[in-house]
Structure 1
């Protein structure tokens, strides 16, 4: 064995632990992000009383961070492709964590809404950062599993944020909850800046150009991209509905207090995280047992969406155990579908150098629908006195999205206007 071969193998051995550290930090980033989002959902009953909010107003407050988040998804991820995940990751988490600190100091609902909009500014490139890291550091055959595991950080964040928030609110008030979570995020931003490194580019590689308007238009001419986008929009709607309204839904149905709601919500999220990893891994092994063929991942997506559609069974139950079982199972399938669909996007896009911007386009569209979810649900609850119609609508939409994914996602996504 030559000296060069020994050096190369030594570099590989060092690179493998490094990428695992990067994945772990992305996992924590998702956990912190969704812990911050859960902070509002568990605090909303207390805040609603303090600020005298109606169900409709609560819906608008829940969606407030999405206003800036939606507008900046694409611009922030275009900058991400140009600058890299190290700078954008640290800056994004630092901004939204500072917004959490300010939220804990807000003295009226107007001030609080402004801090939520700042939080949306920081969170805008979050999933672009994650998708870029996976595209750069994960092997093609493991992207689905890696992405699903990373996305379970969302469930861990929702669980941890909900249960920790419930106890912090009970003993110290909701302001303490916001400030504690903000401090955790600032610490993560510092660690990411010190640890993460963007992949080295060849010296003769051309300088990366931002995605053009023509390339964005061409994305929408790809049936594969549209099929992935429909799934992203549908799962995002249900995700934001559950994230914003689950604690209030459990209080409404089960008549339990804040800590009881926090414990039940956390149990759902933790069960869903474990279930999502198992479901995603098993389905990926079955679909790819005869070799890697990226478009086949749509079968994983469609199967998981069908499982998530069991959310439509919730109106049939009014006691704790069946409600928690249905919620946990549906959320596990939804998370597995999200992981598989995100991996499908990273697989199908030919120009990996623009993965962040493509993710930004996807998130801009899906968050336009996600933005409506807490608001529309607030109106449904105000008009009907229950959540039943909201669950039925989601179940139907998930089944339709599964069928569209199966029929549309087949060819590589090319930004030159050709579909496969």
Structure 2
């Protein structure tokens, strides 16, 4: 019996018998040794992407001093790449579904790497903002590429674990970009940091083009059509999609807040210099990445110990986003060890929640050929909220002199999102008019 037609008995959560969605079927080409190379390259893409993002957060004190920026202006600068990023999430992933991950991945990384190179050569803040907007253009399809590769090449039972491991590349990129950037800035200034990261990205783009192959390469097929308005409407009629989107929005907000402001928060709270802040930020990211892999793997074994039933992954999501809400404890600590422990634990849960939630979306979308566009829709809405995080935090710090309100807001939103995931995510996501 095929995976698409098999049924499962009711589990402890009371889930009634129903056919497993087609999305939970095996990849179209089956297991293939090369898939591990593809996963490794996607992992490196996330490392480079978030290393580039971390470059600004650690360079922000020096850049702000050079261009005489206020905290509010630094918040706007931190969010500038998101302006084009969230606007192009959907269009870029529609193109991804049509032409495949090989071309889109190479062009996207090459484009954002050129933006980093140019960012290290600017002469004023207006030019710098233009390079950040270009960076957002290049990074727009990043997670669509990753989700497409996982959908095409990962086995159903391993999608959550694979996605979590790949997403730890974000934290390693943030850690490496932060600590390397801190020392580069101390020795050579922030411009060299940007230029070196741009060169690394260009090398990756060439390797991806030479190595990766779309799963249907060499097979004659009908041209893929863009996602239709009717399909998007059907998507938003799905309770499951709304539950997944709620989690994505709240975790994205915290992710961008931490990514943009954590070095400055540590400088403010612990009275350390930029090198000390970079080292401690990197330690938090590394601890979070290692912990997320363990949490994700153990959670999958527990939740799927009897059978594979995709909606049960929502319990992993809910538990992890609730753990990430521990960020709300930060205002109660003012010394190094508890602050670093809270940040590390919260980020660990955040990564695990992101991996499980992305895998849940990949599992439940019945039409696998639309996974890139569906990811694009999800990111468009979640990033529209995420881009507010650096800006809102800038105003909070400017008017209160502290970060407390920002942490409390995130904690409350994450708890609510976890409850919505449990209540709403139950059925496959069908993208047909009238479904």
Could you tell me the TM-score, scaled by structure 2's length? Answer: 0.92
1:38 pairs with 2:21: no
Matched ranges for 1:41-120 at <5 A: 41-120=57-136
| 89-98 vs 213-222, which moves further | 213-222
1:280 pairs with 2:269: no
| Equivalent residue in structure 1 for 2:319, among 298, 303, 311 | 303
1:364 pairs with 2:380: yes
Structure whose residues are more often helix by fraction? 1
| 108-117 vs 206-215, which moves further | 206-215
In 1, the alpha carbon distance for the partners of 2:161 and 2:31 equals 19
Aligned residue in 2 for 1:163? 179
- Checking the alignment, whether the CA contact within 8 Å between 2:248 and 2:378 is kept in structure 1 is yes
1:67 is paired with a residue of what secondary structure?
Answer: helix
TM-aligned CA distance change 1:308 to 1:266, over 3 Å: same
1:127 pairs with 2:143: yes
Aligned residue in 2 for 1:333? 349
In 2, the alpha carbon distance for the partners of 1:337 and 1:324 equals 20
Deviations 1:250-291 (A, max 9, x none): 000001001100100000000000010011111111000001
Deviations 1:309-363 (A, max 9, x none): 0000000000000000000000000000000000000000000001000000000
Matched ranges for 1:200-219 at <5 A: 200=216, 203=219, 205-219=221-235
In 2, the alpha carbon distance for the partners of 1:42 and 1:202 equals 45
Aligned length: 408
Runs of 4+ with >4 A deviation:
12-15, 201-205
| Equivalent residue in structure 2 for 1:29, among 39, 42, 45 | 45
TM-aligned CA distance change 1:160 to 1:105, over 3 Å: same
In 2, the alpha carbon distance for the partners of 1:279 and 1:76 equals 32
TM-aligned CA distance change 1:239 to 1:321, over 3 Å: same
In 2, the alpha carbon distance for the partners of 1:23 and 1:203 equals 22
In 2, the alpha carbon distance for the partners of 1:159 and 1:88 equals 26
Q: CA deviation at 1:17?
A: 2.5
Q: CA RMSD in A?
A: 1.4
| Equivalent residue in structure 2 for 1:147, among 163, 179, 183 | 163
- Checking the alignment, whether the CA contact within 8 Å between 2:120 and 2:190 is kept in structure 1 is yes
Q: CA deviation at 1:417?
A: 4.2
- Checking the alignment, whether the CA contact within 8 Å between 2:46 and 2:173 is kept in structure 1 is yes
In 1, the alpha carbon distance for the partners of 2:278 and 2:308 equals 41
In 2, the alpha carbon distance for the partners of 1:416 and 1:229 equals 19
Unaligned runs of 5+ in 2: 1-27
